[in-house]
């Protein structure tokens, strides 16, 4: 068991205690903005200025000094460094708090807020400043073609093939801070259970839409439940 592969899926809840709003909770990010107004390709075509303002605000918030990785992010980085088997971290979050905490094997299935991409030439680059709908691409010179390098509703998440490969035959699957309302991520637990006898644990503040698919649940803030579970796992590995 000690060398089993662990797959961890994280959502907005893991970054809540770092000061980033979740999507669907009270005070959630989409309040005041219907999701279709800001997170679809159609919205971007209809009103690129609004979509840029929305992501500019999120990018600025992420770069504020008080937004830092919390003990849950750090515990997952420690798990990757110390677990004797493979640890694959899949995040729906577009923030960079897992990287800042030290995670290396990390897959951003919904893209990254600190990157932009040109719809004309496809070039991607890092970006820490506001984007305007008239800005020109530094690679091809087209104006008005830059977009946040994030995955919108109706678009294909990144790395699905690698993710399903990692899920199949893993020994342990953890879901942290995700409401289980957005597919395909919400269906990962079912894929794990269909493919083997993995242990499945949900760590969330409250039951999610897919809680019943998990064999175990730990309820509470991620900054408390994740470090406790990681301690448990590393202690059990050390005893083997």
> Which residues of this protein are in contact with ligand NAD, per CB under 6 A?
35, 39, 110, 151-155, 157, 181-184
Binder of residue 183, out of ligand NAD, ligand APR, Zn ion, none (CB less than 5 to 8 A by kind) = ligand NAD
| Residue 199, strand partner residues | 172
Query: Any known ligand binding at 13?
Result: yes
Other CB atoms within 10 A of residue 199 CB: 16
195 is in an annotated binding site: no
Q: Judge contact between 110 and 92, C-beta under 8 A.
A: yes
Shortest distance, position 2 Cβ to ligand APR, whole Å: 27
For tokens 């991520």, name the residue: 185
Contacts to Zn ion by CB under 5 A: 118, 120-121, 137, 139-140
Do 127 and 116 form a contact (C-beta atoms < 8 A)? yes
**CB distance 208 to 42 below 8 Å:** no
Rounded to whole angstroms, what are the CA distances from 203 to 143, 180, 210, 214? 44, 12, 12, 10
Please confirm, yes or no, whether 110 is among the known catalytic residues.
yes
| Of 52, 73, 110, 158, catalytic | 110
Taking the least distance from each CB to ligand APR, the nearer of 27 and 45 is 27
Check residue 155 for interaction with ligand APR (CB under 6 A).
no
121 labelled binding-site residue = yes
Instruction: Collapse the DSSP code of 124 into the 3-class scheme (helix H, G, I; strand E, B; otherwise coil) and give the result.
Output: strand
Q: Is 69 in the site for ligand APR (CB under 6 A)?
A: no
The Cα 66–Cα 105 span in angstroms is 25
Q: Is 227 in the site for ligand APR (CB under 6 A)?
A: no
Nearest residue (CB) to ligand NAD, 156 versus 197: 156
168 is known to lie in a ligand binding site? no
3-state class of 150 per DSSP?
strand
Per CB under 6 A, 205 contacts ligand APR: yes
Establish how many alpha carbons lie within 13 A of residue 29's alpha carbon, considering only the half-sphere containing its beta carbon.
21
Burial group, residue 158, by CB count within 10 angstroms (0-12, 13-18, 19+):
middle
Distance, CA of 10 to chain centre: 5
Q: Quick one: what does residue 154 bind among Zn ion, ligand NAD, ligand APR, none, with the CB cut-off 5 to 8 Å set by partner type?
A: ligand NAD
Q: Does 219 help bind ligand APR (rule: CB under 6 A)?
A: no
Cβ-based nearer residue to Zn ion, 7 or 137: 137
At 220, list the tokens.
Answer: 């509470």
Q: Is 15 marked as a binding-site residue?
A: yes
Q: Residue 222, annotated ligand binder? A: yes
Residues marked active site are found at 110
State the residues that interact with ligand APR by CB under 6 A: 11-13, 16-17, 22-25, 28, 92, 110, 177-179, 181-182, 204-206, 208, 221-222
Annotated binding-site residue numbers for Zn(2+): 118, 121, 133, 137, 140
């Amino acid at each position: 068991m000690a060398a089993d592969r662990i797959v961890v899926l994280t959502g907005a809840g893991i970054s809540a205690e770092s000061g980033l709003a979740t999507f669907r909770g009270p005070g959630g990010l989409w309040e005041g903005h219907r999701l279709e107004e800001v997170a679809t390709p159609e919205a971007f075509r209809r009103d690129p200025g609004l979509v840029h303002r929305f992501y500019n605000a999120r990018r600025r918030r992420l770069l504020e000094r008080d937004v830092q990785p919390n003990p849950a992010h750090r515990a997952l980085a420690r798990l990757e460094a110390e677990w004797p088997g493979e640890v694959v971290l899949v995040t729906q979050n577009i923030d960079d708090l897992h990287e800042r905490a030290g995670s290396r094997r990390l897959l951003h299935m919904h893209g990254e807020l600190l990157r932009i991409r040109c719809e004309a030439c496809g070039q991607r680059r890092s970006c820490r400043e506001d984007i305007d709908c008239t800005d020109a691409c530094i690679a091809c010179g087209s104006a008005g073609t830059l977009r946040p390098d994030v995955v919108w509703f109706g678009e294909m998440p990144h790395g699905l093939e690698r993710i399903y490969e990692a899920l199949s035959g893993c020994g342990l699957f953890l879901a942290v801070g995700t409401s289980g309302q957005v597919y395909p991520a919400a269906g990962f637990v079912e894929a794990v259970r269909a493919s083997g006898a993995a242990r499945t644990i949900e760590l969330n503040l409250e039951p999610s839409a897919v809680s019943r698919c998990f064999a175990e649940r730990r309820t509470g803030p991620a900054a408390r439940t994740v470090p406790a579970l990681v301690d448990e796992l590393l202690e059990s590995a050390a005893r083997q």
